[in-house]
């Protein structure tokens, strides 16, 4: 599998979900694109696709468990007023929390399968 180095703040969609599953050490598989949909991430034991960047129902328990490290990463990256900095940036607040969890576990540069990177 060919991988590319990506800055975590550039992650979105399938690449973000893939790297979050890696950071959390989940057992998962990337489902091949079908019917015009991009790759999807399916975690072992879950009946639905892994999409915490757009699904608060999935993100809530992750934030409850990883709140300190996520806010720590956001503070380190944006400064103490990270809330003001994140508000209005491209992507939703859930996406930025996912990025923060990845960054706090894996660092600011990650290796992502090239086929998952959106242009």
**pLDDT at residue 1 in the model:** 75
| pLDDT tens digit sequence for 50-63 | 999 999 999 999 99
Confidence of residue 119 (pLDDT cuts 50, 70, 90): very low
> Three-state secondary structure along the chain?
CCEEEEEHHHCCHHHHHHHHHHHCCCCEEEECCCCCCCCEEEECCCCCCCCCCCCHHHHHHHHHHHHHHHHHHHHHHHCCCHHHHHCCCCCCHHHHHHHHHHHHHHCCEEEEEHHHCCC
Mean predicted lDDT score pLDDT of the chain: 91
**pLDDT at residue 9 in the model:** 94
| pLDDT tens digit sequence for 10-51 | 999 999 999 999 999 999 998 888 888 888 999 998 889 999
Angle between helices 13-23 and 93-106 (to 10 degrees): 40
Provide the residue ranges of all domains of the chain, joining segments of one domain with +: 3-107
Beta-bridge mates of residue 42: 29
**pLDDT at residue 34 in the model:** 85
Average pLDDT value for residue range 72-99? 87
């Amino acid at each position: 599998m060919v991988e590319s180095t990506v800055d975590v703040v550039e992650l979105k969609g399938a690449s973000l979900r893939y790297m979050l599953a890696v950071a959390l050490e989940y057992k998962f598989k990337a489902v091949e694109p079908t019917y015009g949909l991009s790759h999807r991430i399916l975690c072992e034991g879950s009946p639905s696709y892994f999409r915490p960047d757009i699904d608060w129902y999935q993100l809530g328990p992750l934030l409850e468990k990883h709140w300190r490290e996520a806010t720590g990463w956001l503070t380190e990256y944006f400064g103490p007023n990270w809330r003001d900095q994140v508000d209005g940036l491209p992507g939703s607040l859930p996406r930025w929390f996912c990025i923060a969890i990845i960054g706090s576990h894996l660092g600011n540069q990650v290796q992502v399968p090239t086929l998952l990177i959106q242009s």
